């Protein structure tokens, strides 16, 4: 039996692990093929990301096993967020421990963060149309498709889905 997963803000000493897990997740899943793809180079710069957004890690037994980033709309790390949304980005779990509950815990951390923020009514995210496990996780954790907001990776035929979850308290 594995011990509990803890989600906390990433510290600078976590950035190398976050970069490694991000690369492993995206390349293993075949999302961008080569580790030197320009988008992956951007994601590898965790310190740069942390300047514009909040980076969280999932930790188990003292080891970082996953990460997620949340960004306010209009910031340098937001793609699709509307003014009343917190945008969830780069949810990754080490391929060796996927399906451990880390992804779900990271999603919940961003939802909880959004609920605690004034002026934020929802969490939005973009995911690949063909990324079955990611799409299943978002559906299971209360996100709903917003097909009218879907978009394509610029210059490609790669379709991206947009999901949203309302976080306002009833």
Q: Helix, strand, coil: what percent of the chain each, to 5?
A: 35, 30, 35
Q: Which residue has the tokens 């995206």?
A: 26
Residue 108: count of CB within 10 angstroms of its CB: 14
For the cut 80, the answer to whether the pLDDT of residue 96 exceeds it is yes
| Whether the Cβ atoms of residue 95 and residue 38 lie closer than 8 Å to each other | no
pLDDT digits (tens, 9 = 90+) for 101-156: 999 999 999 999 999 999 999 999 999 888 888 889 999 999 999 999 999 877 77
Residue pair 94/72 in contact by the 8 Å Cβ criterion: no
Short-list 117, 44, 122, CA closest to 85: 122
pLDDT at 106: 97
How far, in Å, are 16, 124, 125 from residue 51 at the CA level?
A: 16, 20, 19
The first and second tokens of residue 75, run together, are 């910031």
Query: Six-digit token pair at 170?
Result: 């009833």
All domains of the chain, ordered by start, with CATH? 6-166 (3.40.630.30)
State the residue for tokens 């000493």. 13
Q: What is the pLDDT of residues 19-53, one digit of tens each?
A: 999 888 876 666 655 666 666 677 788 999 999 99
Q: What is the pLDDT of residue 13?
A: 97
The confidence score (pLDDT) of residue 82 equals: 95
Question: Pick the residue with more confidence: 156 or 93?
Answer: 93
Q: What are phi and psi of 39, to 5 degrees?
A: -65, -40
């Amino acid at each position: 039996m594995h011990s509990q997963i803890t989600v906390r803000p990433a510290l600078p000493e976590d950035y190398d692990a976050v970069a490694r897990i991000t690369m492993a997740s995206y390349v293993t899943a075949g999302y961008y093929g080569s580790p030197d793809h320009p988008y992956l180079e951007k994601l590898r710069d965790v310190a740069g990301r942390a300047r514009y957004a909040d980076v969280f890690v999932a930790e188990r037994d003292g080891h970082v096993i996953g990460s997620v980033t949340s960004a306010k709309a209009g910031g340098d790390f937001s793609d699709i967020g509307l003014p009343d949304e917190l945008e969830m980005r780069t949810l990754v779990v080490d391929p060796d421990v996927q399906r451990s509950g880390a992804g779900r815990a990271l999603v919940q951390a961003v939802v909880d963060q959004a609920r605690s923020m004034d002026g934020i009514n929802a969490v939005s995210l973009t995911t690949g149309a063909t990324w079955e496990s990611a799409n299943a996780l978002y559906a299971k954790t209360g996100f709903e498709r917003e097909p009218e907001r879907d978009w394509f990776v610029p210059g490609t035929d790669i379709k991206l889905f947009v999901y949203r979850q309302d976080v306002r308290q009833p």
